[in-house]
Structure 1
């Protein structure tokens, strides 16, 4: 590796920031507890906390800490299964992306056609739409997320894409973008389709992470609603942890006879956010008990140490051909290191990037990764974004950069 190494301090961690022109550059922070030259001893990984006994009833289970990007428990996470109404998480995400791209608007009105009303109103979970109803996309999304409205999904799909098939193509395009390699969507509502719609716990965690990080405002707008009213009918939210687990604010249940009972949930405490997935439980009561105890386990049996706050400068990345020779980078959310309760985190930190990064650079652009490893060797990664714009260098800045390059 070529290039120069600069020393920085990251919240008490000594960091060496490599800024040369090698294909892969990184900054490493290390607590340096060992004596120089002494043989290193690999740390003994402490056992993970035992999960709650009730989790025995969930053939599929996953717990993920978003702040540290660490999976706390994984059981059959790549096993494909039928998602039932968990499908509607992708329906919501697809609509959220359309809103962000300006293709649709929340106040846009869709008229319910007679065929949709006849086929889907009162079919399973329903908003009880009627032919000729004029419904905003905002109301449809609230109904889909809160009461799992099968009819609302079809109204939305036809209204924004012209057909159910057109909308499911959009859903699958989003799945490919998120690298949900074990998922395919054949319906917008998860209605039984002989197994043509399927997913995995890992893919649902990826999707939930994208909803939380790409659309935080829309997540807060819809997923924490405790009830929903339409056509003079009020429905309660199906979420088993909402109002029962401190910090719980989403997401979605699913059930069909062929799929069993599933749930994807999230909760946040003191800036720390957990995502959980359970699948194929036998009863709704069992799902409720598992979901509540599993989420509490994630908070009670694991400790999270905050390393950096949301938007805090973590380091600088070398820039080529820019108005500045480097740019500060930050994480778009708080950064934690997660360990079992009672274990010291002892983290090491690296900033990794392909560099130097070529200008122009946009504020908020992902240009590096933060690699965090705790004392037992468990590693995680998180995107880092530029904290400011960097324009291409003008003539005088090019001259300055050339002279600085000679010094380097």
Structure 2
């Protein structure tokens, strides 16, 4: 169990080295050539890499993921069905770039449109979905809705002016937001996520030149199963990806590379680095007391703190598993305390990685004390004032 010390600011800090070995090698960070990148192990909640990750950038077709998320929500809520056929407007038909080659005589099944977006990156398919779900029937109205929905989901650096990533000064997303969106898609819609691993989709035989998924990771045999590429002259080449090996899953997003070859090489390198250079380590068991917090005016003078679930983190394999930890809370805690109350944060600092914060909760109830507790507390407070020189000080 960790030991504690007081600070003059009134915060109680607990610091200790949880895991240590004598000879630790320096951690080598991944040297990405992308302009912005974000890599996270979502199984343990560990951020592995963050480079300009919160900078809003042109997302190109990677922003189609937000259109897909909104469409999946509509299907889940019964506002749209997979077999429903949607008309193609002249506006949707007008899009160039990657398309399904739809025209105004088409009525297309929603399921085909989804595959057309995921596999073929169809700009026209996005617009068809957008107009069907828009509050005012326009793609612009759908884009405004997407922006509002993104903000609700915590995508604070995302704004949309269209459904497909067509170049526009108002179309922006950060790599952190894209990785968070990918995580939502994986966790919120497991029934639809397998679509992102499909490598080919032939729609109606009309576009033989556009039937293959552009995600270079699919088929490499490294556990990759999504999500979306993007490219414009302004954005460069980017990718939002995910891969699963064993029980671990990573998500990542990067942007700003100069070729499809560079994108493919960077994607493979990120996946290999994330899985080979880090290992899971269990450092605590749910219910196990990690430290204690002093309780003011309670029947007990302190309460044990624990995590709500087993504490598992990633550690770089080359560091000798060095991990420092600090517990921070406003103290002392005022009674009464209920078991399960969140009272503190455990800050983990693996060498070479961003810190990770874990909530600590009370292991037991501490009722408010009676007269004797008040007397004991007052005596302790007076003794502390004497120790600090606060009594009889004429200055």
Query: Is the TM-score greater than 0.5?
Result: yes
The answer to whether the 8 Å contact 2:61/2:121 transfers is: yes
Which of 207, 210, 216 does residue 240 from structure 1 map onto?
216
The answer for the alignment partner of 1:179 in structure 2 is 154
Q: Using a 3 Å threshold, how does the CA distance of structure 1 residues 47 and 165 change in structure 2: closer, same or farther?
A: same
Q: Distance in 2 between matches of 1:86 and 1:191?
A: 10
The answer to whether the 8 Å contact 1:85/1:189 transfers is: yes
The 3-state SS of whatever aligns with 1:230 is coil
The answer for the alignment partner of 2:144 in structure 1 is 169
Residue 266 of structure 1 pairs with residue 242 of structure 2: yes
Q: Distance in 1 between matches of 2:366 and 2:174?
A: 54
Alpha-carbon offset, residue 15 of structure 1:
9.3
The answer to whether the 8 Å contact 1:112/1:130 transfers is: no
- Unaligned 5+ segments in structure 2 are 4-10, 289-305, 374-395
The 3-state SS of whatever aligns with 1:147 is coil
Per-residue deviation, residues 4-63 of structure 1 (Å, max 9, x unmatched): xxxxxxxxxx699xxxxxxx9xxx9988789xxxxxxxx9996432425xx33x222222
Alpha-carbon offset, residue 278 of structure 1:
1.6
Tell which deviates more after alignment, 371-380 or 297-306: 371-380
Q: Using a 3 Å threshold, how does the CA distance of structure 1 residues 59 and 404 change in structure 2: closer, same or farther?
A: closer
Q: Distance in 2 between matches of 1:191 and 1:91?
A: 13
The answer for the alignment partner of 1:282 in structure 2 is 258
The answer for the alignment partner of 1:49 in structure 2 is 28
The answer for the alignment partner of 2:286 in structure 1 is 314
- Unaligned 5+ segments in structure 1 are 1-13, 17-23, 35-42, 317-327, 362-366, 385-401
The answer for the alignment partner of 2:111 in structure 1 is 138
Q: Distance in 2 between matches of 1:67 and 1:164?
A: 36
The answer to whether the 8 Å contact 1:186/1:196 transfers is: yes
Per-residue deviation, residues 205-241 of structure 1 (Å, max 9, x unmatched): 222222223223322x321111112112561111111
The answer to whether the 8 Å contact 2:93/2:101 transfers is: no
The answer for the alignment partner of 2:316 in structure 1 is 340
Q: Distance in 2 between matches of 1:127 and 1:349?
A: 54
The answer to whether the 8 Å contact 2:40/2:250 transfers is: yes
Alpha-carbon offset, residue 250 of structure 1:
0.7
The answer to whether the 8 Å contact 1:77/1:200 transfers is: yes
The answer to whether the 8 Å contact 1:337/1:345 transfers is: no
Cα RMSD for the two superposed structures: 4.2
The answer for the alignment partner of 1:204 in structure 2 is 178
Alpha-carbon offset, residue 185 of structure 1:
0.6
Give runs of aligned pairs for residues 57-206 of structure 1, distance below 5 A: 58-100=34-76, 102-116=77-91, 118-120=93-95, 123-161=96-134, 162-193=137-168, 195-206=169-180
Alpha-carbon offset, residue 375 of structure 1:
5.5
The answer to whether the 8 Å contact 2:337/2:366 transfers is: no
The answer for the alignment partner of 1:39 in structure 2 is none
Alpha-carbon offset, residue 116 of structure 1:
3.9
Q: Distance in 1 between matches of 2:265 and 2:175?
A: 19
The answer to whether the 8 Å contact 2:130/2:142 transfers is: yes
Alpha-carbon offset, residue 105 of structure 1:
3.4
- TM-score normalised per structure 2: 0.70
The answer to whether the 8 Å contact 1:110/1:156 transfers is: no
The 3-state SS of whatever aligns with 1:207 is helix
Q: Distance in 1 between matches of 2:46 and 2:121?
A: 30
Q: Distance in 1 between matches of 2:149 and 2:24?
A: 37
The 3-state SS of whatever aligns with 2:116 is helix
| Aligned residue-pair number | 335
The answer to whether the 8 Å contact 1:369/1:383 transfers is: yes
The 3-state SS of whatever aligns with 2:192 is helix
Alpha-carbon offset, residue 78 of structure 1:
2.4
Q: Using a 3 Å threshold, how does the CA distance of structure 1 residues 329 and 48 change in structure 2: closer, same or farther?
A: closer
Q: Distance in 2 between matches of 1:339 and 1:374?
A: 10
Larger C-alpha radius of gyration, 1 or 2?
2
Alpha-carbon offset, residue 132 of structure 1:
3.6
